[in-house]
Amino acid sequence: MTARLLLLWGLAAAVTAQDAPLQIHDREYFDSESVDVLVYNNRYSGLFSDSKLSGVELIHHGVRTGTNGDVRLSNAPEQWDPTPEFGERAVDREAGVISATSAYPDYDFEYEVETEARPEGGVTIRVVLSEPVPEALEGRAGFNLEFLPSAYFGKAYLADGRPGQFPRSPVGPMAWDEWMGRYEPQPLAEGATLVLAPEDAERRVTIEAHDGATLALYDGRNRAQNGWFVVRSLLPAGETGTVLEWTLTPSRTPGWQRAPVIGHSQVGYAPGQPKSAVIELDPAADPAPVVTLTRIEADGTTTEAKRAAAEPWGGFLRYQYATFDFSDVTEPGVYTLSTGSETTEPFRIADDVYGPSLWSATLDTFMPVQMDHMFVNDRYRVWHGASHLDDALQAPVNHEHFDLFAQGPTTDTPYEPGEHIPGLAVGGWYDAGDYDIRTQSQYATVSDLVLLHETFGVDWDETTVKQDDRYVEMRTPDGIPDVLQQVEHGVLQLQAQYDAVGHAIPGIVEAHLHQYHHLGDGLTKTDNRVYDPTLDSLEVRGDRSGTFDDRWAFTSKSTALDYGSIAALAAASRVLRGYRDDLAEKALQTAIRVWDEEHARLEPILFRHGNTTGGFLPAEELGAAVELLLATEGDATYADRIAEMVGEMEGRMFGFAAPLFVRAMPHMDDGFRERVREGVAEYADGLAEVEAENPYGVPVGMGGWGGAGGALQFAMTNHILHRAFPDLVGPEPALRGVEYVLGRHPGSDVSMISGIGARSKTVAYGMNRADYSFIPGGPVPGLVVVQPDFPELQEDWPFLWYEGEYVIPMAPLFLYAALAADDLTRTAR
């Protein structure tokens, strides 16, 4: 065949592949080698409204660049704006059609979004109505499709051929919208045809509106920093049937394959530990690629340390996997892994790889930054001032709030709704990337800090904490272990709740939505003066003001919350002795009193709402019993209850409860120990099932929140069980849990601990997310599986909370897991 014929044959094949129709995958989405279109595989969260994870979505050359293809009621909807209620979804493989029905019940408005594969590629999107758009929504209801800003920054667009450029910072006109009652973005461009990124073959998308409809392009970041670029067409009034039709044509690359991901620990490995990289491969790639481990010498030269074909593992999610074992390489040094054209960042093999350089930033930077009610200084930088000194007003009754808080039919306190509750402006951490004090997070953090301190004896001291002055100074040792000062800070808030109202409360959170999504210094959220409704709005009188900016305390009583809180107080009483004897004794006496009160009650108080009113009641009670048993050095009251509960926790719950039972064993009889051993043996058998589920040997979270916390809990649980029963549970599961968060996971090789490892999540959802920045040592939820099968951890967009939001309970989990890895590898040495 001549060269010219070969060229023509190649061009014809490329055109054929580009124009071939998308196929409906077995997992019910439109699929091709370089483009996938999801159609309502994911749906709006009923808890957090718009999560940028619903409707028609586009996965384009391995990146989810489009989402929220749906009928919406504004140009650039914010997170808390109305979202439709999902109805039904239908898949017609023969016709190549996926459709879904949804509704806005408040407006008696139902509609169908129908998507159909086009013979020449792309999809047709239709909005179908059986009844016309309600009069109240005429000029309001439109079909929107949103595009990830970080995928388009600096790229061009064409609107009917007129050129424009996607801005890095939000620009564009705003105009008052009477119906929305706010300023709304106005179009950057309009036309019947819109081409995004015409210059970029991997991001080019062509959208055509038919039958006279107009496409408008908006910058949603003009409404909120977490907004996306929005393409929108209004639905016509007075029409039924197909009232809007778009053609969506993403560019496709014939023969495209996703580059391999070499999943490995970004910080490295101890010489003697098992070392295995997981290679994530395109379904069409060689299932056994050759992988090379290269040693980098001091003069920059390289030496091949190992080279072999990876061992095929099989399929998981949408990819295939292989493993490359290099456990036999033990010489300390700097290494990289490579396969094909992909090479990792350098990592170490060293005895101290799990030392303080791994975990100290979490303890001496991230945790201080999260401290509420304190001025936090870091050399030339102030992270935030002493915030929320006006805490807190009694929340109104029968009120369901945002962020999973609610108040029941009574206050369960001596205070009237809106009345100031004194004594709560002390201690506690910002729960997450927002600023609320979620009690469940507080007590989990305290309990795990105590556990790691008692297990490993951490005496790291790099932070000065002056509670009386509400002052924190980083990089300045004060002679007191940082762990103890963090325990103290959490206990001060937990104890304050009992002092103020007599029981644990769900938490303290902003009264107003505009404060809830506040970014930056927490000091600027309130005026730090107690609200006094008798004063004018800007009037100040002493420590009171007429500005209603105070947080609300949600105070409904819950037995589960009390058990969780007194578990933390009892645990803290042990480690605070010798440092804060007064606080230690008060915490213990509170824990004993509340335990007695709960067991004198005929029935537990089961007030439940969201995730703010305590965990699974038996598990919370068991935690309280174990911590009180240890704090009282074996009091029979608690030993007897623990003995009863070992039977109640058999089966599915035993894996969760096993670490608590193990910790109780020194104060229990031989029969109890044998029952625990039997349960751990059964649990250990189940570890083989975990290893068979995926190539990482760690439970991969499949829900709507990243799985890093689950992996760290897995590491902690297995370390505790290994120490108690080394013949039943080996060290490997705990080490795998640590490696998972440090980069050996699906989707990417990024460390889920900000600033830790050569590549980490450094555009994260913290208080400084609007700056596209991070908090050193902060753990993020990490990888999420976008249903049905797409592993995602966006590296360059900080506003997906389910992947990038810091949450305070993960900090001690990571500290424990890192210290456990050091313990296990040091023992091996």
Q: Which two tokens stand for residue 421?
A: 């509750």
In a domain, 651, yes or no: no
Q: List, in sequence order, every residue forming a beta bridge with 244; answer none if it has no partner.
A: 127
pLDDT of residue 136: 97
Cα angle 570, 426, 445 (rounded to 5 degrees) comes to 45
Q: Give residue 432's identity as a one-letter amino acid code.
A: A
Do 406 and 541 have their domain in common? yes
Q: Are 746 and 316 in contact (CB under 8 A)?
A: yes
Burial of 652 (0-12, 13-18, 19+ CB in 10 A): exposed
Structurally, how many domains does the chain consist of? 3
Peptide bond into 209 cis (omega under 30): no
Q: Which residues of 581-601 are buried (b: 16+ CB within 10 A; e: fewer)?
A: eebbebbbebbbebbeebeee
In a domain, 7, yes or no: no
In the three-class reduction of DSSP (H, G, I as helix; E, B as strand; rest coil), residue 629 is classed as: helix
Q: What is the CATH number of the domain that holds 341?
A: 2.60.40.10
Q: Last residue of a domain, which of 598, 614, 630? A: 614
Do 128 and 239 have their domain in common? yes
pLDDT of residue 829: 57
Q: Give residue 258's identity as a one-letter amino acid code.
A: R
Residues 6+ apart with CB under 8 A from 563: 598, 614, 617, 620, 621, 623, 624
Phi, psi angles (nearest 5°) of residue 398: 50, 45
In a domain, 785, yes or no: no
Q: Last residue of a domain, which of 250, 284, 307? A: 250
Q: Of 340, 345, 309, give the one whose Cα is nearest residue 324.
A: 309
Q: Are 542 and 522 in contact (CB under 8 A)?
A: no
pLDDT of residue 656: 86
DSSP letters for 270-324: -TTS--EEEEEE-TTS-SS-EEEEEEEPTTS-EEEEEEEEPEEEEEETTEEEEEE
In the three-class reduction of DSSP (H, G, I as helix; E, B as strand; rest coil), residue 472 is classed as: strand
Q: How far is CA 333 from CA 56, 145, 297, 735, 759, in A?
A: 48, 49, 8, 20, 18
In the three-class reduction of DSSP (H, G, I as helix; E, B as strand; rest coil), residue 766 is classed as: coil
Cα angle 126, 127, 130 (rounded to 5 degrees) comes to 130
Q: Are 128 and 116 in contact (CB under 8 A)?
A: no
Q: What is the CATH number of the domain that holds 105?
A: 2.70.98
Do 401 and 449 have their domain in common? yes
Separation CA 521–CA 45 (nearest Å)? 28
Do 486 and 587 have their domain in common? yes
Do 414 and 542 have their domain in common? yes
In a domain, 324, yes or no: yes
DSSP letters for 343-367: EPPPEEE-TTTTSHHHHHHIIIIIH
Separation CA 166–CA 218 (nearest Å)? 10
In a domain, 191, yes or no: yes
Separation CA 807–CA 764 (nearest Å)? 11
Q: Are 372 and 427 in contact (CB under 8 A)?
A: yes
Separation CA 301–CA 716 (nearest Å)? 39
Do 181 and 322 have their domain in common? no
Do 148 and 268 have their domain in common? no
Residues 6+ apart with CB under 8 A from 704: 45, 51, 53, 784, 802
Q: Are 127 and 244 in contact (CB under 8 A)?
A: yes
pLDDT of residue 826: 87
Cα angle 731, 733, 737 (rounded to 5 degrees) comes to 120
Q: How far is CA 751 from CA 193, 325, 650, 736, 785, in A?
A: 41, 20, 35, 14, 17
Do 151 and 127 have their domain in common? yes
Q: Which two tokens stand for residue 104?
A: 């806005």
Separation CA 344–CA 336 (nearest Å)? 6
Q: Where are the beta strands (DSSP E) in 395-519?
A: 399-400, 406-407, 437-438, 463-466, 471-474, 507-509
Separation CA 174–CA 623 (nearest Å)? 54
Separation CA 274–CA 84 (nearest Å)? 49
Do 278 and 412 have their domain in common? no
Q: List, in sequence order, every residue forming a beta bridge with 216; answer none if it has no partner.
A: 190, 232
In a domain, 819, yes or no: no
Q: Of 491, 516, 377, 497, give the one whose Cα is nearest residue 433.
A: 516
Phi, psi angles (nearest 5°) of residue 740: -55, -50
What is the three-state SS of 554-619?
ECCCCHHHHHHHHHHHHHHHHHHCCCCHHHHHHHHHHHHHHHHHHHHCCCCCCCCCCCCCCCCHHH
A 10 A CB-CB count for 119 gives: 10
Q: Of 496, 472, 506, 491, give the one whose Cα is nearest residue 421.
A: 496
Do 246 and 291 have their domain in common? no
Q: How far is CA 317 from CA 52, 564, 747, in A?
A: 21, 36, 10
Q: Cα-atom radius of gyration of the chain, to the nearest Å?
A: 28
Looking at residue 450, the DSSP 8-state letter turns out to be H
Q: Last residue of a domain, which of 224, 250, 276? A: 250
pLDDT of residue 10: 35
Do 490 and 552 have their domain in common? yes
Burial of 331 (0-12, 13-18, 19+ CB in 10 A): exposed
Q: Residue 578: give the domain boundaries.
A: 386-429+439-614
State which residues of the chain have pLDDT below 70.
Answer: 1-19, 651-652, 827-829
Separation CA 381–CA 377 (nearest Å)? 6
A 10 A CB-CB count for 718 gives: 29
In a domain, 633, yes or no: no
Q: Of 776, 797, 761, give the one whose Cα is nearest residue 383.
A: 776
Do 126 and 231 have their domain in common? yes
Pairing of the two strands 123-129 and 109-117: antiparallel
In a domain, 296, yes or no: yes
DSSP letters for 710-743: HHHHHHHHHHHHHHH-TTTS-SHHHHHHHHHHTT
